[in-house]
Amino acid sequence: MKWLKEVYDLFVDDPKLAILSLVALLIALIVAHAGAKEAAGLAIFLVVAGSLWYSTR
């Protein structure tokens, strides 16, 4: 598992932000499968923007 953390740290400086962005993708995937693709894009935007705001606050 140590190698996974090293690779993860190469790409992400803020682990909470990375997890929140993965949550955004999961929400968007669920919404897109429900048939609302524009709402899925909006969900990604809102969750990522909110995550960035929370992370810099």
pLDDT digits (tens, 9 = 90+) for 1-51: 776 676 566 556 777 777 877 888 888 889 888 888 888 889 888 888 887
Give me the pLDDT at residue 4, please: 67
pTM, rounded to two decimals: 0.64
What distance in Å separates the CA atoms of residue 16 and residue 14, rounded to the nearest whole number? 6
What distance in Å separates the CA atoms of residue 41 and residue 29, rounded to the nearest whole number? 10
Residue 16: CB atoms within 10 A of its CB come to 11
Give me the pLDDT at residue 10, please: 53
Give me the pLDDT at residue 40, please: 87
Give me the pLDDT at residue 7, please: 54
**Among 18, 24, 29, CA closest to 45:** 24
Give me the pLDDT at residue 13, please: 73
